[in-house]
Amino acid sequence: MGINLKGEMEATKSLLELLAKADETRSLYEKLRLPLPDPLRRLLGSNANGLRSSSMNGSTAVESPVPPMPPEADSDWAWVKLEDCSPHTLAKAILRQSPEPLRSKEIYEKVVGYGLNVSLGTVSNAATRLETYEIFTRDTEGRWHMAKPDEAGVVHEGYLWGPRDTFSSQELAAHRRDAILFILSNAAGGLQMAQITAQLRAVDWLRADVNKDLTKGDVEKLLGQGKIHRMPGYSKKYQLTHSENLS
């Protein structure tokens, strides 16, 4: 019996359209803070605990890429590469972990040491804003003190760790894009947009929001950075760029 290539392509296209529509429906329910109907949960692969498993592309969800956790981290903490963090977020972590109060210049030197290309003025302004939020206080000698350590994350082995609300939406987007790169590194044949979204939903270690619009924005960002590329032909699949280093 010959292979019906046209029929197989139509069936695959129909499946992807169904998954994309299911993902869109899921987003609507989540925006309304309503529980997902059982048929939708089954279609998306939700299990009884609300964690997703995926058999997209003939394989289960990829293993966890979670880096070494700091001793004080809780199991639900997020992590973001230091170079992807803002001066505002890093300043909080630096002061939290400092045994003594620091001046703006001292915080700045540490921020720059973590790979950020920012000015002293930017860091000073961040500290001043944190003072208005009563997270920092300043003594008469111009040194900054941490008033609310629970509002700050922890620097550990190249990452900043903390509760989800420690990070900005831009930082969590960087966390999600790293997840996409990791997922694509485990998909030699590439993945389509809907498959990437499904894989993101399938893992239980991702701490950022997931929906098809966010995936589209992340893929476009990664394409612009040259970290991934669209495969030739009509598959609409994306692959990791060979020169991309995930270490």
Please tell me the predicted confidence (pLDDT) of residue 47. 31
Please tell me the predicted confidence (pLDDT) of residue 181. 96
Q: Are residues 175 and 99 in the same domain?
A: no
Contact 118, 138 (CB under 8 A): no
Q: What is the CATH number of the domain that holds 118?
A: 1.10.10.10
**pLDDT above 60: residue 230:** yes
Final residue before a domain boundary, out of 162, 177, 203: 162
Residue 127 to residue 86: CA distance in whole angstroms: 12
CA distances from 111 to 79, 83, 85, 92 (A): 17, 9, 10, 11
Confirm whether 102 is domain-assigned: yes
Please tell me the predicted confidence (pLDDT) of residue 244. 57
Final residue before a domain boundary, out of 131, 162, 193: 162
Final residue before a domain boundary, out of 119, 144, 162: 162
**pLDDT above 80: residue 16:** no
Residue 212 to residue 215: CA distance in whole angstroms: 5
Q: Are residues 210 and 146 in the same domain?
A: no
Q: Are residues 94 and 155 in the same domain?
A: yes
Contact 200, 239 (CB under 8 A): no
Of 117-121, 139-143, 201-205, 225-229, the poorest mean pLDDT is in 201-205
Q: Are residues 130 and 196 in the same domain?
A: no
Contact 240, 227 (CB under 8 A): yes
**pLDDT above 90: residue 14:** no
Confirm whether 98 is domain-assigned: yes
Residue 67 has which token pair?
């880096």
Confirm whether 208 is domain-assigned: yes
| Residue 24: CB atoms within 10 Å | 12
pLDDT tens digits along 142-151: 999 999 999 9
Please tell me the predicted confidence (pLDDT) of residue 58. 36
How many structural domains does the chain have? 2
Q: For residue 125, give its domain range.
A: 78-162
pLDDT tens digits along 165-208: 999 999 999 999 999 999 999 888 999 999 999 999 988 899 99
What's the mean per-residue pLDDT of the chain?
85
Q: Report the candidate in 175, 147, 144, 145 with the shortest Cα–Cα distance to residue 82.
A: 175
**pLDDT above 50: residue 59:** no
Of 16-25, 26-35, 150-159, 227-236, the poorest mean pLDDT is in 26-35
The whole-model pTM stands at 0.73
Q: How confident is the model at residue 55 (pLDDT cuts 50, 70, 90)?
A: very low
